[in-house]
A = this chain, B = another copy of it.
Amino acid sequence: MMKIKAQGIKLGAVILIAEITFILIFAFLGDYDLSSLPDNPGDTSVHLTYPMFQDVHVMMFVGFGFLMTFLKRYGYSSVGVNMLVAAFVLQLALIVRGFIHYDIIGGQRFQVTIGEMLSADFAAAAVLISFGAVLGKVSSLQLLIMATIEVILAQLNEYIGLHKLHASDMGESMYVHVFGAYFGLSVARVLYNEHVHGSRKEGPVYHSDIFSMIGTVFLWMYWPSFNAGAAEGHEQMRAVVNTYLSLSACAIMTFALSALLDKNGRLDMVHIQNATLAGGVAMGTAADMPVHPWGALLIGSVAAIISVLGFKFLTPLLSSRLKLHDTCGVNNLHGMPGLLAGISAAVMGALSSPDTWGDSMCKIFPAREGCGDNSTDLNRSALEQGGYQMAALSVTLAIAIGGGILTGFILKIPFLDAPERDMLFDDQHSWNVAEQQFPDVLVESEGKHEKNSMTYM
């Protein structure tokens, strides 16, 4: 009991110190969007960006939060700790991005714009994906340490990809999904605990699976806003349409594969909850590119196939052979479909030409030949652009895996209160919840209580 009490004090103290630090950094280095400062007309068009930002916000807090509630005894942590981690990352990401994108040393202050808030949500997405790989196996304190390291590395990686390699990634399937998935999987590998096998707590009850579907449908519906939120003009329109079509194909193909591969011909809820979303990931990098409606449908269909096959065959194999236990199957939902996204966009880059792409080519690939502005007068050929897209994907994988392994070892520090064997996949590790409140044991406790119904109140 003393140990748990200490665990609470540590968590509380770390958050307190973090929040005080955040406030001080914002006080000395941060500011509003200059356009929301008095006497500055600027861009006050909240209505242009805000609705899509809110859709993405729903994806982070309802989408990820509820998607992970499928475990029968880990719902408080899924939706609750998801909120803690996301809200923590929002503030941290604004600061980290400030240091990267503003001349802080030169006296500039970083700005909190709606665009930056959208980017902060993207930063949260990467961390929440990693959370999925280690769900039920780490403490809140471990998660906050993981989040801190991951946000810094992911933002650096995004900076390298966008501003050094000039690799396009509109829906950030490389910089968010691939990064988050392989970072999280690397952490999970290092933290591998043999006791995860055979736990009866690592499973759903009927209603926890339906809670999870709340997350699925909100992610599915609002994904076009994720892939198009940062775009403009007809690139934005195309990102909406491509993502919508990719997801539609992915959803129905997931049902097909789930039924075809099952030994009894029945559908599997895990596939429906997760693989239906792979089309959003797979479309992310090329979202604003002219892949044409049929191309979007094809990408979504392939994503479904990869994702269901992954859940069916790869995840059990990774767990039993490679000691890589992936609680939510993020490799199947974010990892492999993210690789597909990166490769699709590299192919598109290698095929890009001003004849078929029009003015979109230079907007999407400013480093292509003939697009030269001051910052990126690189005159790349189409093939070169394709190569740089692959380079960005490779760099992302390298930083994610390397950073994840390093982070995993850091998280092993005993100070961070990893849950012990009997507290895996169990909210009782860190929440006040009586055993008899759980749906799978409601019977016994309430059976007693019914016998005493005379003295009920």
Q: Which B residues lie within 8 Å of A76 (CB)?
A: 209-210, 267, 269, 272
| A100 at interface, CB cutoff 8 A | no
Contact between chains at A266 and B430 (CB < 8 Å)? yes
Contact check, B90 vs A248: say whether CB atoms are below 8 A apart.
yes
Contact status B264-A432, CB under 8 Å: yes
Also in contact, A22 and B83, with CB within 8 A (given A4-B265, A259-B9, A293-B30): no
Which residue on chain B has the smallest CB distance to residue A30? B293
State which residues 224-260 of A face B: CB under 8 Å. 225, 228, 232-238, 240-241, 244-245, 247-249, 251-253, 255-260
From B8, B19, B225, B255, A262 is in contact (CB under 8 Å) with B8
Quick check: B457 and A236 within 8 Å, CB to CB?
no
- Name the residue of chain B whose CB is nearest to the CB of A214: B214
Q: For the complex formed, measure the closest distance between the CB of A365 and the CB atoms of chain B, giving whole angstroms.
A: 13
Name the distance in Å between A79's Cβ and chain B's nearest Cβ.
Answer: 5
A259 touches B112 (CB 8 A): no
- Number of chain A residues close to chain B: CB under 8 A: 152
A327 at the A/B interface (Cβ < 8 Å)?
Answer: no
CB distance from A198 to the nearest CB of B (A): 7
Structural contact, A12 and B241, CB atoms closer than 8 A: no
- Among residues of B, the one whose C-beta sits closest to the C-beta of A270 is B432
Are B449 and A262 in contact, with the CB atoms below 8 A?
no
Q: Is A307 an interface residue (CB 8 A)?
A: no
Taking CB atoms, residues of chain B closer than 8 Å to A38 are: 234, 290, 356-361
Q: Which of A201, A218, A433 has the most B CB atoms < 10 Å from its CB?
A: A433
24 contacts across the A-B interface (CB closer than 8 A): A4-B266, A6-B265, A12-B257, A12-B260, A13-B260, A16-B253, A31-B292, A32-B238, A36-B235, A36-B237, A38-B234, A38-B357, A38-B361, A44-B232, A46-B240, A62-B214, A79-B210, A80-B272, A91-B245, A214-B214, A264-B432, A442-B442, A442-B443, A443-B446
